Amino acid sequence: MAPKAHTGAAVGDPQRSADTDVQARLNAAVVAFGLVGHSPSFRAALDLLTKFAGCDAPVLLRGATGTGKELFARALHYLGRRAGHAFVPVNCGALPDTLLESELFGHVRGAFTDARTDRPGLVTSAEHGTLFLDEVDSLSPHGQIALLRFLQDREYRPVGGRSARTADVRVLAATNADLAALVVQGRFRQDLLFRLDILAMDLPCLAERPEDIPLLARHFAMRFATLYGRPVPVLDPAALAWLMANPWPGNVRELENVMHRAVLLAEDGRLALPGLSRRPGAAPAAEAGRLHAHGGLREVCARGRRETEERYLRGLIAETGGNVSEAARRAGVERRAMGRMLKHHGLVPGLPRPGPD
C-alpha cells in the first residue's frame, strides 16, 4: 500500500500529509478501477503502483493477458500529477505500419493524397497527460525505430511537417511477452527495451493469487447486479468451490466475464455459476454440484483446484505436442509460470493425450 509516514512525524508534517493524500487517492483508485485483492503478490503490485505514480519515468507493465495491465496503467495516471489531463491508450498491434507515424505524430495538410487538413496524432492528444502503449511487443521494426526516436528526447515531427515539436507526455507500456527473449531472437530492439524498462511492474496471474478469487467474484457480482438493477446474488459454498477449482488461464478478465453471465442468469438470488465458463476443460456442472459433499470448503477448494489444474495442463501439453512456450501462450501465462505448474504436477512435455475420464 502507500508508504508509511515517518515515525514520530509531528502534526502538520508535510511528509505525513503527502502520504495520507496518496493513501486516499490509492483507496479511490482501488474502488474506481477494481484493483481488488489482498494476496502478497497483489499487495506488492499495489506498493509499486503507489511509488511509481509519484514520478514521471516510463513504466513497463508485464503480465499475462487479463491480469489488469491497462487498469494499473490508468491508476498510475490518475494517481499522479497528470491526472487532470488525458490518458491515451494505444493498441500497438492495431497500428498499420504504413500509417503508424501518422497515427502517433499526426500529419500536415498535403502530406499524402488523403491529407486534406492538418491532423494531430495520439502524442498530441496526450499532451501533459499519459500515452499508454499496449502490446508494445507487436510493433514492427519500423514502428520500434519511430518510437525509439521519440523516447530519446520527446521530439517528433508530424508527417509532412518541416519542424520538430516537443511533447510533454509520460509513457507507459505493457506486454504479455518476454521482451528480453525477443531481443535475443532479434525481434525487439534492445535500445528500445532500455528506454521502456526504466521502472517495471510484474502483475501476477490469478492462479498465483487464489485467495483473491472470492473477493473478486463478490466485487464483480455487486458491480453487475448494480449495473442491471438486480439484487446482489449469494455466492454459496458450491459456487465458491467451483470458482476456486478453475485454473483461470484468462485471469481476472475471464473471471469477470463468468461473473457477468452468472449475474444475468441468477435465479432466486443464487448465482448460476457451474457450466458458465466457455473455456474447454472447465469443471462441469455435475462435478461442481458434488464438491460440497467431500470435505470442508478449504479442503474441497484445494483438492478441486489441483485436480482441475492438472487435467487442464495434461490436455494443453498434449495438444501443443510438448511445446511449453506454446502451452504458456494458449493459457495466457508466462512461460516460467507454466514451467512451475508442470513441475508441480509432475508433468513433462511429450505426455500422450489423456483418454476420456
Domain boundaries, the chain: 58-204, 207-344
- Could you tell me which residue, 55 or 99, shows the higher pLDDT? 55
Residue 354 has pLDDT above 70, yes or no: no
pLDDT value of residue 113: 54
Mean of per-residue pLDDT scores for the chain? 79
* 311 class by beta-carbon count within 10 Å (0-12 exposed, 13-18 middle, 19+ buried): middle
pLDDT-derived band at 67 (thresholds 50, 70, 90) equals: very high
Q: How confident is the model at residue 182 (pLDDT cuts 50, 70, 90)?
A: very high
H helices of the chain, where?
Answer: 14-33, 40-53, 69-79, 100-105, 122-125, 141-153, 179-184, 190-196, 213-227, 237-245, 251-264, 285-290, 297-319, 324-331, 335-344
Measure Cα distances from 162 to 116, 151, 166, 190 in Å: 17, 20, 13, 30
User: Does the pLDDT of residue 31 top 70, yes or no?
Assistant: no
How far out from the chain centre does Cα 228 lie?
26
Of residues 106 and 305, more confidently modeled = 106
Q: Which fold has domain 58-204?
A: Rossmann fold (3.40.50)
Q: Which residue has the higher pLDDT, 3 or 244?
A: 244
pLDDT category, 108, cuts 50, 70, 90?
low
Q: Are 74 and 88 in contact (CB under 8 A)?
A: no
* pLDDT at residue 46 tops 80: yes
Task: For 83-151, give the DSSP string.
Answer: TTS-EEEEEGGG--GGGHHHHHH-B-TTSSTT--S-B--HHHHTTTSEEEEETGGG--HHHHHHHHHHH
Instruction: Specify whether the CB–CB gap between 245 and 214 falls below 8 A.
Output: no
- pLDDT exceeds 60 at position 158: yes
CA separation for the pair 88, 104 (Å, rounded): 11
Instruction: Indicate the CATH number of 207-344 among 3.90.79.10, 3.40.50.150, 1.10.8.60, 3.90.1150.10.
Output: 1.10.8.60
Q: Report pLDDT for 276.
A: 59
pTM (whole model) above 0.75: no
- Range with lowest mean pLDDT among 96-105, 155-164, 300-309, 318-327: 300-309
Q: 65 pLDDT band (50/70/90 cuts)?
A: very high
- pLDDT bin (cut points 50, 70, 90) of residue 204 is very high
Give residue 160's pLDDT. 64
Of the pLDDT bands very low, low, confident and very high (cuts 50, 70, 90), residue 134 is very high
In sequence order, the 6+-apart residues with CB closer than 8 A to the CB of 318 are 351, 352, 353, 354
Lowest-confidence pick of 16-20, 194-198, 318-322: 16-20
Give mean pLDDT, residues 51-62. Answer: 94
**pLDDT tens digits, one per residue of 303-353:** 555 666 676 777 777 777 788 887 777 776 777 778 877 877 777 654 444
Mean pLDDT, to the nearest integer, of 60-80?
A: 94
Whether 207-344 and 58-204 are alike in CATH topology: the answer is: no
pLDDT band at residue 235 using 50, 70 and 90 as cut-offs: confident
Mean pLDDT confidence for 13-38 = 65
pLDDT in tens, 248-294: 999 999 999 999 988 988 888 877 675 555 554 444 444 444 444 44
